[in-house]
Amino acid sequence: MRAAMLIPIALLMAGCFGPPRPARVADIDAGEFYTNDEIRGLDQEERNRYCAQLRSRIDALKAEADSIQARADSLRGEADSLRHVNRELSTEIRDLDGEIRQLRLARRAATIYTVKAGDTLQKIASVVYGTATRWRDIYEANRTRLGKPTDPLKAGMRLQIPAK
């Protein structure tokens, strides 16, 4: 009996038996692969089919990598474009902030005039600026309160007078 057990062991050690056939079928799409020993246990047709599946999977992964690389290149271009737009907008914002500061200073410098009975924008402009032609400056500064430029002024109204 002992000799019967030794013969298969001796044959295995001498390389007389090939590697065992895999007990499972590798599903490449699910991320399952054969080990080297399992590959050696496949017959030539199974090995060729497995290798063809591997090549196909590798080609698909290469195509996916190329697509991802192209998308990354496109996104880099978009990012560069957006950085340029951001710089332009930042410059515009700085310019507008400067204008806002100037308008606030001008607003603070403006004086308040209380309308008297019989006043018109032209009369007020003559008194404040020395010329009736600047009535539109007063109108623009108070447009929301005045309505149309031809509407009569009400005594007691407080008008902002822009700086001279």
Kindly report, residue by residue over 24-64, the tens digit of the pLDDT.
788 888 888 889 888 888 899 998 998 999 999 999 999 99
Low-confidence winner among 26-30, 96-100, 129-133 (lowest mean pLDDT): 26-30
d(CA 135, CA 119): 12
| Secondary structure E strands in the chain | 111-114, 158-161
Domain boundaries, the chain: 18-105, 110-161
* Stronger pLDDT, 26 or 134, i.e. the higher one: 134
Please tell us whether the domain made up of 110-161 is placed in CATH 3.40.50.450. Answer: no
- Asked if 132 and 122 touch (Cβ cutoff 8 Å), the reply is yes
Q: What is the mean pLDDT of the chain?
A: 86
| Per-residue buried b or exposed e for 58-82, using 16+ beta carbons within 10 Å of the residue's own CB | eeeeeeeeeeeeeeeeeeeeeeeee
Residue that the structure tokens 């195509």 belong to = 63
